[in-house]
Amino acid sequence: MSITFEINRGDLAKAITIALKFAGKERELPMLCGINLSIIKGQLTITGTDRFRLGLVRIRPIPETADGATNPDLDGPGSNIGVLPRATATRLLRVIGGPLDGRSPNVELTSSGRELTVADGETRLTVTLVDEKFPDVVGILLDEMERPIDLDLWGVNTALFAAFKDAAWRKGDHATVRLSTASRPAVVRIGDHFIGCLMPVQIAKRGSTASDWKEFLTSEPERPTRTTKRASRAAK
């Protein structure tokens, strides 16, 4: 099955850039070392995940092409386009990114079988999609959002969590976070374009409730314990 539609060049480049922030890099998991493209509810959806984070970005094709033609209706049943390897997605970014310099603000995307073609009237690039099964990210997200909330503490890896700041589409975008239990991922939504997941880290001190955190401000901090080696030097 083949489908062709036009989309804003800058929006496509930005969406790919955001999704790549969440894509994996482990060669042992080739299905995650790239971004997945699909059509969901009439929008181009680009997703990346490394098992610990998941980021899904959606952008809407332009309703009318430059020559006045109407873009095809993508509001039917969703369809998966395929996985773009990281290197291929980066190459595609180099072609469509950068200043316009007289180029069309829109690009035409054609998905046919395992090929994706991007054209803007002057430049035409055809890339091959990877024949790998991508995780059911929609199912994962819907499952998490259905879970009842029963939570006191939730541990987070700060380095992984920091990647979500790059998912903002514009300056000032805020994130909304939904947490269910300490062992389940957080669901993060930013604006109307992004939704994702972040896996938790194990909290070492079980039973230390949030209400106990006042000790951080009211208790005398313990002195750091010197190592045996340093202590022996001090004795000399």
Residues forming beta bridges with residue 83, ordered by sequence position = 36, 130
Mean per-residue pLDDT of the chain: 84
Domain 2-128 sits in CATH at 3.10.150.10
Residue for token pair 């790919």: 16
Going across the sheet that includes 115-119, the strands are 2-8, 106-112, 115-119, 124-128
Give the highest mean pLDDT range of 7-11, 96-100, 212-216, 229-233: 7-11
**Region 60-81: what's the mean pLDDT?**
67
pLDDT at 218: 74
pLDDT at 208: 57
- As a whole number of angstroms, the distance between CA 54 and CA 75 comes to 24
Q: Could you tell me what percent of the chain has a pLDDT over 90?
A: 45
Nearest 10 degrees: Cα torsion 180, 184, 188, 189: -60
Q: How confident is the model at residue 97 (pLDDT cuts 50, 70, 90)?
A: confident
pLDDT at 70: 55
Domain ranges of the chain: 2-128, 137-205
pLDDT at 13: 95
- As a whole number of angstroms, the distance between CA 89 and CA 217 comes to 48
pLDDT at 133: 83
Query: Residue 58 contacts by C-beta under 8 Å, 6 or more apart in sequence?
Result: 15, 40, 43, 44, 45, 46, 193, 194
Overall pTM > 0.85:
no
Buried b (16+ CB within 10 A) or exposed e, 100-129: eeeeeebbbbebeeeebbbbbeeeebebeb
pLDDT at residue 114 tops 60: yes
pLDDT at residue 73 tops 80: no
